Amino acid sequence: ILNVEQSPQSLHVQEGDSTNFTCSFPSSNFYALHWYRWETAKSPEALFVMTLNGDEKKKGRISATLNTKEGYSYLYIKGSQPEDSATYLCAFYHPGSNYKLTFGKGTLLTVNP
């Protein structure tokens, strides 16, 4: 059974704060790690697909890093805005996983104005 753990479970920050959260996944047999942003009443939106150890990806004020050897990825948000409020999900894929993404439970971010 694959376990993908995300922490913290929820986070409240003030507008303008920078924040980060963690996704932990099995370090063996890695293929890809996905990050999604899921706003209430909308569909999950792909942020990043990361495949190489040491990968760093950036999209506006959001960036992510990947360490496949130790099995973790960090998501950073610089200068949080209220519109960043959402659940951030990571999902792990490895060959032999029956073609599925295994999701964590997500980190619920609330940015207060």
Give the number of other CB atoms < 10 A from CB of residue 99: 7
Taking CA atoms, 49 is separated from 29, 63, 67, in Å, by 16, 12, 13
Site for other proteins contains 102 (CB under 8 A): yes
Can residue 45 be called a binding residue for other proteins (CB under 8 A)? yes
Q: Which residue has the tokens 């360490």?
A: 67
DSSP string, 40-69: TTS--EEEEEE-STT-EEEETTEEEEEETT
Region binding other proteins by CB under 8 A among candidate stretches 12-20, 43-51, 55-63, 66-74: 43-51
Judge contact between 21 and 76, C-beta under 8 A. no
The window from 13-21, 37-45, 61-69, 76-84 that contacts other proteins (CB under 8 A) reads 37-45
Q: How far apart are CA 58 and CA 63, in angstroms?
A: 4
Choose, by CB under 8 A, the member of 62, 66, 75, 89 that binds other proteins: 89
Judged by CB under 8 A, the stretch of 53-61, 62-70, 78-86, 88-96 that binds other proteins is: 88-96
Candidates 7, 14, 18, 31: give the one binding other proteins (CB under 8 A).
31
Q: Which residues bind other proteins (CB under 8 A)?
A: 4, 31-32, 34, 36, 41-46, 48-49, 51, 89, 91, 93, 98-106
